[in-house]
Chain A
Amino acid sequence: MTQADFSTILPLTLLTVWACVLLLVDLFIPNTHKGITALLAALGLALTLGFTLAQIGVQQTGLNGMIMLDGFSTFVSALLLVSGLLGVALAYGYVRRMGIERGEYYTLLLFSVTGMMLMAQAADLIVVFLALELLSFPLYVLAAFARPKIESEEAGLKYFLLGAFSTGFVVYGTALVFGATGSTNLAAIVAFASPGTSNLLLLSIGAALILVGFGFKVAAVPFHMWTPDVYQGAPSAVTAFMSSGAKIAGFAALLRVFATAFPSIAVDMTGILWALAALTMILGNVIAIAQTNIKRLLAYSSIAHAGYILMAFVPYGNPDVAPVSIAAGLFYLVAYALTNFGAWGVVIALEKGTGKGLELNDYAGLARKHPALAAAMTVFMLSLIGLPPTLGLVGKIYLFRAVIDGGFYGLAVIGVLTSLVSAYYYLRVVVIMYMRDGEPETEHESFLDLTTMATAIATVVISLVPQFLFAWASSAVLKLF
């Protein structure tokens, strides 16, 4: 193992070791002080974030080309680590209030983040598979963390069964790709595929199966069926982390695999991706209209947003547009993650220990009783619609620019029209908060309030000065090629 190998996996190693040690340390922390575990987990994430940021600009491969460290992986890892931190902050008071405060929660979360980061760094389909399993298993457990609550157990089991099923697709696709090209290494796949020596049909089928597998993970239609049930049943803090983290990781893997390994079959893939994106946007947004439970509403919203991010993939075969479109995808992931965590933060603030407080009508009168919380929720809703002055608008504009640049006008029109549909149900939340009377009860926990307010402010402020994020996202992509 060379020094380069070591530095390539340094943040990963740090976080893994930290998680293992935390598992042991947690045994000695009394049950009444499990908050310490949370703080230690946050410290680990923050340290890893520091190392990751220090690696900005580094580009190298390690472990015989299995793992890659480049601008793309650094960007995604940093985003994942921030998501992890936000996930810990949201869980801190929530698990205590729900009576599910156990130290494993944070260890599992750390392992999951490790898996997600490994996904971003994977340069080999085998590593992709490994990362997929590493990120998924802790999530299966976390989804069922509120046992013996039946909904939570159901969510965990459902997520596990469908997750395992979808992983099967990834494995089978990997096998077919290996059969077609004789390698699982992304660089080698390109080398085999481009001269036309390989079996392109087999490669296409393999790529399509991998797409199906990840389609499950990112909740793209028609592989989305599990999403509302799992998001609703899982503890809200887990859902918040899962809906952002798993999506980021899944899209990172898709972006990496497709842009590096499969440009040669872009002709076949573009149509499929187009249809997936369009279907996901339409179905996610339309079904969300009928929801009356905030968790289900956000679940369908998360499906819809998977569709918007999928739009970034459609022009991936066009070398002029691909860098823009991938940068747009990354940027949108940041916008989505921030907004999503904030919105879930508000959900958590209103959720009661008994599982009440999750209906839309429970938000009535929030603007009078807790103006700051209602204003924050309004910012998140505007951001999810894509209205100024929020990051969601800037992200959507970036996405649409990539799609228009690629010449997919039809998809762009579907994208904006579904945004219009989404305005209806997001605004309904605002209507209920501001225009109906009620006596909502909220929980005030310092970390929760901090997270909600910080994400709300960031959503607005970064939208006004997005330069650094633009620059970072686009440089992250240039090094991918």
Chain B
Amino acid sequence: MEFLLQPLTLLTFFPLVGILVLFFIPSERKDVLRWTALIVSLITFGLSIWVLTMFNASNPDLQLLAQYDWIQVAGWNIQYYLAVDGLSILLVLLTTFLTPISILSTWTAVEERVKDFMLFFLLLEIGMLGVFLAQDLFLFYIFWEFTLVPMYFLIGIWGGPRRIYAAIKFFLYTMAGSILMLLAILWLGIYGGTFSVPDLIAQGNIPANIQWWLFLAFTAAFAIKVPMWPLHSWLPDAHVEAPTAGSVILAGVMLKLGTYGFLRFNIPLFPEAAVRAAPWIALFATIGIIYGAAVSYAQADVKKLVAYSSVSHLGFVMLGLFALNSQGMQGAILQMINHGLSTGALFLLVGMIYEQTHTRELKVYGGLWKVTPIFGTIMLIVALSSMGLPGLNGFVGEFAILLGAFGSRAIGNAWFAAISALGVIMAAVYILYMFQKMFLGPQGEVVDEVKNHGHGLRDLNWREIAIMVPILILIFWIGLYPKPFFDLMAPAVDQLVASISSVAMR
């Protein structure tokens, strides 16, 4: 039972404590339920900070190992193996950071079946943390598939009008990819005699042609999750129909499960295939960047606009990852965090206004700045961060990615970076377009309409400001002084890049 006391076990499974407590709280006591879930998620965040203090950033290897035999019979060699390194520490923190924020955002938005909502939310957190920490492919797969279930319920029960369609589409799309990955995982397990990822990487003698097939199978799972163009069509439905907190977690964390998968599994396990695939991935990433931006601009629904912008932003992440050099990959990891913060914040803000107006049609908004100045200011900062204004977080990540992609030997063609850079400009177009439609110009009918009902559009209240402030702090912090964040990941990324070049770029 020693494994229960390992820091990473405690971190991953602490939300389970909350779930057990929630079971004993009657469903009518909604505020008690909310506070319990919030406090549990805050303690989980505290645990992740505790893990961060124990984390040695200069060590590029896996740390804080919780490694125990799990299923060691009948020819199986499966371990309970959690560990953290520079590639995953920031994503773990992002998960524990966004969860309490999302829970806080549901305070007035979720009135129905609060208990179930909180149960699924905490289950989801366990699943996501497990994905980022698992170092055994079998364990990883269990967490990976498990994340689908609570998210499916979150969309399906508390979502918008087309929620059931969106939930099933989300589920089936994601599962379609991951079951192919399951076959590849089993093949690896039989071939290598172990499911432990570090051991499999160390063995590293998979024939090149088989590497290619395995790479494709893993890619099927992760590319759908990211989602890469042209596998993105589940995303707008799921994002738009999901409740605000669900969208925040979906965009903020769950999409990163895909990009993280590429980083943790595809690239180190199949380096030769990764190098071979890099130009193709870059091609699809570039198309995604441009396509996502163009389609965003065409949306009439704010939430859909933000959803499509994810396709574009995640294209940058993929481009950076498959630059397969230090700059690109570090930029990509940072951009995962940035996207989680700024897109998460955009969904939160859209959710806050939707709670009052019950519409997301761009054309009915306008002139909100005068009515709700705090809301407008925060929206402006987040929007600028999302489009990559220097001094805010988005710029740092995108700059590093473009720099990496430009000089990447694996991609081998600077045009991808050049075209992708256009995506930054296009981001400015659709983001500013949205901002202008909502906040500037003549007052839209939505303002009047609310007035007609007797109560005007109110500005953000203290709870809503409290939700946004931590995100804003991070947006400025990463934008102005990103060094501590890069320091956390740099040794691990450098080691990964070195190992790829020693194997695959001879």
What's the least CB distance linking A402 to chain B, in Å?
A: 9
Residue among B71, B175, B183 making CB contact with A409, cutoff 8 Å: B183
| 3 A-B pairs with the lowest CB-CB distances in the bound complex, closest first | A474-B74, A416-B179, A471-B73
A378-403 to B contact mask, C-beta < 8 Å, 1/0: 00001000011100010001001100
What's the least CB distance linking A235 to chain B, in Å?
A: 33
Query: B35 contacts the other chain (Cβ, under 8 Å)?
Result: no
Query: A412 contacts the other chain (Cβ, under 8 Å)?
Result: yes
Given A387-B149, A388-B142, A416-B180, check contact A423 B73 (CB 8 Å): no
Query: A121 contacts the other chain (Cβ, under 8 Å)?
Result: no
Chain B positions within 8 Å of A387 at CB level: 145-146, 148-149, 175
What's the least CB distance linking B142 to chain A, in Å?
A: 4
Chain A positions within 8 Å of B141 at CB level: 388
Residue among B168, B180, B190 making CB contact with A431, cutoff 8 Å: B168
Within 8 A of B (CB), among A69-104: none
Chain A positions within 8 Å of B480 at CB level: none
Query: B171 contacts the other chain (Cβ, under 8 Å)?
Result: yes
A424 touches B172 (CB 8 A): yes
Query: A420 contacts the other chain (Cβ, under 8 Å)?
Result: yes
B145 touches A435 (CB 8 A): no
Q: What band does the interface of chain A fall in when counting residues whose beta carbon is under 8 Å from B?
A: 20 to 34
Q: How far is the CA of A417 from the CA of B138 in the complex (A)?
A: 19
A474 touches B183 (CB 8 A): no
Q: How many residues of B contact A (CB 8 A)?
A: 36
Given A416-B183, A474-B74, check contact A435 B172 (CB 8 Å): no
Q: How far is the CA of A466 from the CA of B142 in the complex (A)?
A: 14
Q: How far is the CA of A466 from the CA of B182 in the complex (A)?
A: 19
What's the least CB distance linking A383 to chain B, in Å?
A: 12
Given A388-B146, A389-B142, check contact A473 B74 (CB 8 Å): yes
When C-beta atoms are compared, the residue in chain A nearest to B130 turns out to be A388
Query: A419 contacts the other chain (Cβ, under 8 Å)?
Result: yes
B186 touches A420 (CB 8 A): no
Chain B positions within 8 Å of A401 at CB level: 186, 189-190
What's the least CB distance linking A419 to chain B, in Å?
A: 6
A457-474 to B contact mask, C-beta < 8 Å, 1/0: 000000000110011011
Query: Which of B84-92, B156-164, B326-334, B482-490 has 4 or more CB atoms under 8 Å from chain A?
Result: B156-164
B146 touches A400 (CB 8 A): no
Chain B positions within 8 Å of A300 at CB level: none
What's the least CB distance linking B330 to chain A, in Å?
A: 33
Q: How many A-B contacts if CB must be within 8 Å?
A: 83
When C-beta atoms are compared, the residue in chain A nearest to B138 turns out to be A397
Chain B positions within 8 Å of A371 at CB level: 116
What's the least CB distance linking A478 to chain B, in Å?
A: 10
B142 touches A470 (CB 8 A): no
Q: How far is the CA of A400 from the CA of B186 in the complex (A)?
A: 8
Query: B153 contacts the other chain (Cβ, under 8 Å)?
Result: yes
A470 touches B179 (CB 8 A): no
Query: B53 contacts the other chain (Cβ, under 8 Å)?
Result: no
Given A382-B149, A401-B190, A423-B172, check contact A434 B182 (CB 8 Å): no
B183 touches A400 (CB 8 A): yes
Chain A positions within 8 Å of B50 at CB level: none
B74 touches A400 (CB 8 A): no
Residue among A327, A389, A420, A435 making CB contact with B179, cutoff 8 Å: A420
Of B74, B156, B157, B189, most buried by chain A (CB within 10 Å of CB) is: B74
Q: How far is the CA of A467 from the CA of B183 in the complex (A)?
A: 21
Dominant secondary structure of chain A at its interface with chain B: helix
Residue among A367, A397, A404, A420 making CB contact with B175, cutoff 8 Å: A420
B176 touches A424 (CB 8 A): no
Query: A405 contacts the other chain (Cβ, under 8 Å)?
Result: yes
What's the least CB distance linking A267 to chain B, in Å?
A: 23
B156 touches A435 (CB 8 A): yes
When C-beta atoms are compared, the residue in chain A nearest to B147 turns out to be A388
What's the least CB distance linking B124 to chain A, in Å?
A: 13
Q: How far is the CA of A347 from the CA of B171 in the complex (A)?
A: 25
Query: A454 contacts the other chain (Cβ, under 8 Å)?
Result: no
Chain B positions within 8 Å of A161 at CB level: none
What's the least CB distance linking B263 to chain A, in Å?
A: 23
B176 touches A435 (CB 8 A): no
Query: B454 contacts the other chain (Cβ, under 8 Å)?
Result: no
Query: B280 contacts the other chain (Cβ, under 8 Å)?
Result: no
Task: List 23 A–B pairs whose Cβ atoms lie within 8 Å, in order of A's numbering.
Answer: A327-B74, A368-B113, A387-B148, A387-B149, A388-B142, A400-B182, A401-B186, A404-B183, A412-B183, A423-B171, A423-B172, A424-B168, A427-B152, A427-B168, A431-B167, A434-B153, A434-B156, A434-B157, A435-B167, A467-B71, A467-B73, A470-B76, A471-B74
Within 8 A of A (CB), among B175-220: 175-176, 179-180, 182-183, 186-187, 189-190
What's the least CB distance linking A326 to chain B, in Å?
A: 11
Query: B26 contacts the other chain (Cβ, under 8 Å)?
Result: no
Chain A positions within 8 Å of B182 at CB level: 397, 400, 416
Query: A413 contacts the other chain (Cβ, under 8 Å)?
Result: yes
What's the least CB distance linking B128 to chain A, in Å?
A: 14
B186 touches A435 (CB 8 A): no
Chain B positions within 8 Å of A435 at CB level: 156-157, 163-164, 167
Query: A220 contacts the other chain (Cβ, under 8 Å)?
Result: no
Query: A324 contacts the other chain (Cβ, under 8 Å)?
Result: yes
Given A409-B183, A423-B172, check contact A467 B72 (CB 8 Å): yes
Given A387-B175, A405-B190, A470-B74, 6 further pairs, Cβ under 8 A: A382-B149, A387-B145, A388-B146, A420-B179, A431-B164, A435-B164
Chain B positions within 8 Å of A324 at CB level: 74-75
Chain A positions within 8 Å of B187 at CB level: 404
What's the least CB distance linking A417 to chain B, in Å?
A: 7
Q: How far is the CA of A422 from the CA of B108 in the complex (A)?
A: 37
